[in-house]
């Protein structure tokens, strides 16, 4: 999914002639802490509710208010993961999308962005979540997928997190599977030497104790 497909058409773009009070009202209406500022179709930056609240005169035009992230935006053809990386890095509520010609195209809401990301990962699909702990050199999604599919189970999505420097054996692979009952999958993976750190499924998983299930719930809630 590309940035152009993530634009929220309901989010307004502010203009330099708009007033501080009007900008605050729109932020409250759309439940965002930031809005994009444009000038004759060109992106100028992000206006922040936090900064506007410190402005004494609500009738002051936005041209006289400091903007943030003047050089932080995404192009229409950038991937969802690139967009997420940028907004997390800068802790943004919204991000501007621009065209090849550097014209403002629209605004992405981070709340909607995360919903789309969850859909891409298959978070809302029924099925188990499995976390494997491994040495980075042993990571092969092709091999792991083959072992899982021998049990007539498929991987909906996966996420590999490299371990911190100096701890190569603490890498994690998180898998979302298309079935709830994954007891046979766990048995197969453990038979081939894979360490299951945690598992979560609506159906009972006999070879994973309650402590591991609890640790997964804590992991997902962090």
The 8-class DSSP code of residue 61 comes to B
Say how many domains are in the chain: 2
How do residues 211-220 score in pLDDT, each as one tens digit? 554 555 554 4
**Among residues 93, 119, 145, which one ends one of the domains?**
119
Looking at residues 69-89, what average pLDDT do you find?
90
176 with 207, same domain? yes
Q: Is the domain of 90 the same as that of 148?
A: no
Q: Of 73, 93, 119, which residue is a domain's last?
A: 119
Percent of the chain scoring above 70 in pLDDT: 86
In whole angstroms, what is the distance from residue 15 CA to residue 110 CA? 21
Q: Which residue has the higher pLDDT, 205 or 164?
A: 164
User: For the stretch 57-84, what's the b/e string if a residue is b when 16 or more beta carbons lie within 10 angstroms of its beta carbon?
Assistant: eeeeebeebebebeebbbbbebebeebb
156 and 56 both lie in a single domain: no
Most confident of the following: 20-34, 88-102, 166-180: 20-34
Q: Say whether both 180 and 198 belong to one domain.
A: yes
Full-model pTM:
0.67
Phi then psi dihedrals of residue 35, to 5 deg: -145, 155
Q: 208 lies in which domain range?
A: 123-221
Q: Is the pLDDT of residue 104 over 90?
A: yes
Instruction: Note whether 44 and 99 are same-domain residues.
Output: yes
Q: Is the pLDDT score of 188 beyond 80?
A: yes
| Same domain? 114 vs 129 | no
């Amino acid at each position: 999914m590309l940035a152009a497909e993530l634009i929220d058409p309901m989010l307004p773009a502010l203009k330099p002639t708009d007033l501080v009070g009007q900008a605050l009202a729109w932020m409250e209406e759309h439940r965002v802490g930031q809005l994009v500022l444009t000038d004759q179709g060109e992106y100028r930056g992000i206006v922040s509710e936090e900064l506007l609240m410190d402005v004494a005169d609500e009738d002051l035009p936005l041209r006289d208010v400091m903007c943030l992230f003047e050089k932080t935006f995404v192009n229409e053809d950038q991937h969802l993961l690139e967009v997420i990386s940028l907004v997390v890095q800068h802790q943004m509520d919204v991000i501007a999308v621009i065209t090849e010609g550097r014209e403002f195209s629209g605004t992405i809401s981070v709340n909607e962005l995360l919903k789309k990301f969850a859909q891409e990962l298959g978070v809302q699909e029924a099925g188990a979540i499995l976390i494997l702990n491994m040495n980075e050199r042993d990571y092969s999604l092709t091999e792991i997928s083959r072992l899982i599919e021998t049990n007539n189970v498929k991987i909906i999505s996966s996420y590999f997190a490299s371990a911190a420097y100096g701890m190569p054996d603490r890498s994690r692979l998180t898998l979302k599977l298309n079935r709830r009952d994954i007891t046979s999958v766990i048995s197969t993976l453990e038979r081939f030497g894979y360490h299951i750190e945690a598992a979560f499924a609506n159906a009972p998983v006999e070879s994973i104790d309650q402590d591991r299930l609890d640790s997964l719930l804590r992991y997902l809630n962090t």
